[in-house]
């Protein structure tokens, strides 16, 4: 109704900004219209790029535009998908950051979560979802994650989650959220040295279709990467990390980890 629409417009705060693009409806009470326009451009470009890079251009069935609130400030970004048996029903988000972190880290990251949700129609294991999403962030943020993980590996004993437990996680273990991000990022980066992104997607599809339990992921890991067992994958992954560690004279932590985007 026109009257209702007028009421909504009049009730918005003076600084509110709004943008409707092909796949998104953005609103913000703290970001400028200019920033919102840039967010929209990056989000739409990310949809196209992620579809091309990860899904070989496969079509995505959107359940309507994703409703995203943009918050200019500090904090964690989150994207929520409500699933039904046939796939996503509704996608909402609250993406938080400054101009730099929104455009170069959070927007590409969150859009990849959406692309995965639409493509697979169900949630992915946390390590895989976050591990892949962090690979499309800026090199600055990826270095921060890498350095944090290396500092954990320098501890005695090393502070890591065993791979079989990592593969079984559906939620974050208390106090180890960033651990899941960092290990997921590193493990995905390692798998991407063995095959391209689309191979990782085939591995993902087979793991989900095979039952989405540790045994299913182990079967998919063997089929797509040749590992006989999760432990073998973990050993090779750690060797790969140590090789990278050896190339860094001082792999210490650059800074405390940023608030974790989801």
Task: State the residue number with the nearest CB to Zn ion.
Answer: 262
**200 close to 132: Cβ distance less than 8 angstroms:** yes
Q: Given candidates 101, 183, 204, 262, which one binds Zn ion under the rule CB under 5 A?
A: 262
Per CB under 5 A, which region of 5-13, 17-25, 130-138, 231-239 contacts Zn ion?
130-138
Per CB under 5 A, which region of 67-75, 97-105, 218-226, 254-262 contacts Zn ion?
254-262
**Does 133 contact Zn ion by CB under 5 A?**
yes
| Minimum CB–partner distance for residue 107 and Zn ion (Å) | 12
Which token pair is 244?
């990278």
| Minimum CB–partner distance for residue 109 and Zn ion (Å) | 5
| Minimum CB–partner distance for residue 79 and Zn ion (Å) | 7
CA-based angle 49:50:56, to the nearest 5?
95
Which burial class, exposed, middle or buried, applies to 11 when counting CB atoms under 10 A from its CB (0-12, 13-18, 19+)? Answer: exposed
**Does 124 contact Zn ion by CB under 5 A?**
no
Q: Tell me how far apart the alpha carbons of residues 70 and 136 are, in angstroms, rounded to a whole number.
A: 19
Is the Cβ of residue 186 or residue 262 nearer to Zn ion in the bound state? Answer: 262
Count of residues that interact with Zn ion, criterion CB under 5 A: 3
| Minimum CB–partner distance for residue 88 and Zn ion (Å) | 16
**Does 147 contact Zn ion by CB under 5 A?**
no
Is the Cβ of residue 29 or residue 138 nearer to Zn ion in the bound state? Answer: 138
CA-based angle 140:146:147, to the nearest 5?
90
Establish how many alpha carbons lie within 13 A of residue 174's alpha carbon, considering only the half-sphere containing its beta carbon.
Answer: 0
Q: Tell me how far apart the alpha carbons of residues 125 and 235 are, in angstroms, rounded to a whole number.
A: 21
**Contact characters 190-229, Zn ion, x per CB under 5 A:** ----------------------------------------
Is the Cβ of residue 115 or residue 230 nearer to Zn ion in the bound state? Answer: 115
| Minimum CB–partner distance for residue 241 and Zn ion (Å) | 22
Positions touching Zn ion (CB under 5 A) are 130, 133, 262
């Amino acid at each position: 109704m026109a009257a209702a629409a007028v009421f909504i417009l009049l009730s918005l705060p003076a600084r509110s900004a709004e943008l409707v693009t092909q796949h998104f409806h953005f609103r913000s009470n703290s970001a400028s219209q200019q920033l919102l326009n840039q967010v929209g451009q990056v989000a739409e470009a990310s949809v196209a790029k992620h579809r091309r890079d990860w899904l070989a251009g496969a079509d995505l069935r959107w359940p309507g535009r994703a409703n995203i609130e943009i918050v200019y400030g500090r904090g964690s970004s989150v994207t929520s998908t409500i699933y039904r048996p046939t796939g996503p029903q509704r996608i909402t988000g609250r993406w938080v950051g400054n101009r730099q972190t929104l455009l170069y880290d959070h927007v590409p990251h969150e859009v990849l979560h959406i692309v995965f949700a639409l493509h697979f129609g169900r949630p992915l294991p946390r390590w895989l979802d976050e591990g892949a999403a962090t690979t499309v962030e800026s090199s600055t943020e990826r270095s921060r994650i890498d350095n944090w993980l290396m500092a954990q590996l320098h501890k005695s004993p090393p502070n890591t989650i065993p791979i079989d437990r990592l593969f079984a996680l559906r939620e974050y273990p208390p106090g180890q959220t960033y651990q899941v991000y960092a290990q997921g990022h590193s493990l995905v980066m390692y798998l991407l040295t063995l095959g391209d992104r689309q191979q990782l997607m085939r591995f993902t599809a087979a793991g989900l279709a095979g039952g989405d339990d540790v045994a299913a992921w182990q079967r998919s890991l063997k089929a797509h990467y040749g590992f006989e067992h999760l432990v073998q994958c973990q050993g090779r992954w750690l060797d790969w990390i140590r090789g990278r560690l050896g190339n860094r004279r001082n792999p210490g932590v650059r800074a405390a980890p940023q608030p974790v985007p989801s």
